[in-house]
Amino acid sequence: MRDLTEAQVAAGHVVGIVCDSTTGGEFEERLFEQMKDMLALGIHRTPMQRHVGPGDLASARRTYRIIKELRPDVLHGHGAKGGAYARLFGSLLRVSRSRVARLYSPHGGSLHYDETTATGKLFFALERSMAHFTDCLLFVSDYERRTYRRKVGEPPIPNTLVYNGLRVAEFEPVPIGPDAADLLYIGMMRDLKGPDIFIDALAAAAPRLGRTLSAVMVGDGDDLPRYRAQVKRLGLQGHVRFLSPMPAREAFALAELVVVPSRAEAMPYIVLETLAAARPMIATSVGGIPEIFGSGSPALIRPDPAELAGKMSEALADLAAYGALMPDGPGLRARFGADVMAAEIEKAYFAALGR
């Protein structure tokens, strides 16, 4: 969001952000503080719970009042809740004769649900109905687009694939710091992102290498106490450091090898950021991640502790050789630059306004 916003402001657009106020922490607050002066329409934070619940009605009223006052030409909703608000409120503004383009980027969102369950069927039925209030769908990976088609149906509206992008400075290599650990996990502390898989694999990989492994886990979330307990239960408390959220490039200097053990993803920025920083990594072959590495990459595994432990052992045995298997920087920048992302999204905005 920051990269996209900065690119849109640089292109001369008047931009604002409306988002949840209940998630995030000190690190995110600093990021908002850095952005606020560049946004002519401001940053508006209001409680928006992740799941559907009784608080949604009050949240929707508050959010609609904010958006109505801003009078935007374009409403771009990100994620299931943001996408629902952008499309519903954009449609309400149209009733009052405002000209608003309504765009939606799922980012996984409701697409993570199993289509065979009652909950999944309900959400996908809602997605099908919401398509009639949408001017364009923006997918961040081909996996996400294929999943939408399989679970929701062929979109009856324009849709396009726009990969996430990074700024030029993020393609500079990050050297490791002194006393770097062997392994790094950075991300939200929730099971969907696989911290438990990382910890189990860490315990299993050490005997294979015949030495103790050290790790840094960077992030926060409601499940953090459970992962601390898992580390203690496995006798790893002297070998794993838990750190609060920090900029990814600062975290990359803390370890030799980055691991993304997610169970599900759409197109995770952390994978792009790691490769752009020229850091070797292991990632699960889920969601859009194979689109970054290319099919058949030896860096990709299933979200399984035993398989991850084997790959950790293999990579740490010869990091130089393993690092040579990563995608090349120039190719990544040509596909995943923020300038490319912003230009494609801007094109979608104007096309939606034209319709």
198 to 32, 180, 194, 322: CA distances (angstroms): 30, 18, 6, 19
Does the CA dihedral 21-26-27-30 come out positive or negative? positive
- Residue 62 sits in the same domain as residue 92: yes
Cβ(133)–Cβ(93) below 8 Å: no
Residue indicated by tokens 């919401």: 130
Cα-Cα-Cα-Cα dihedral sign, residues 34, 39, 42, 48: negative
* pLDDT category of residue 97 using cuts at 50, 70 and 90: confident
N-terminal to C-terminal alpha carbon distance within the chain: 25
Range of the domain at 28: 2-165+337-354
CATH code where residue 310 lies: 3.40.50.2000
Whether residue 221 sits in one domain with residue 141 = no
Residues 224-253, mean pLDDT to the nearest whole number: 97
- Answer yes or no: do 48 and 159 share one domain: yes
Under 8 Å between Cβ of 176 and 183:
no
pLDDT at 108: 74
Residue 200 reports pLDDT greater than 80: yes
Share of the chain above pLDDT 90, in %: 83
Looking at the structure, do residues 322 and 343 belong to the same domain, yes or no? no
Backbone φ and ψ for 253, nearest 5 degrees, come out as -75, -10
The model carries a pTM of: 0.85
Residue 333 pLDDT exceeds 80: yes
146 with 16, same domain? yes
Residue 137's nearest CA partner among 78, 94, 221 is: 78
- Share in percent of the chain as helix, strand, coil (round to 5): 50, 15, 35
CA distance 249 to 42: 27
pLDDT in tens, 274-291: 999 999 999 999 999 999
In this predicted structure, the answer to whether residue 48 has a pLDDT above a threshold of 80 is yes
Does residue 290 sit in the same domain as residue 302?
yes
Say how many domains are in the chain. 2
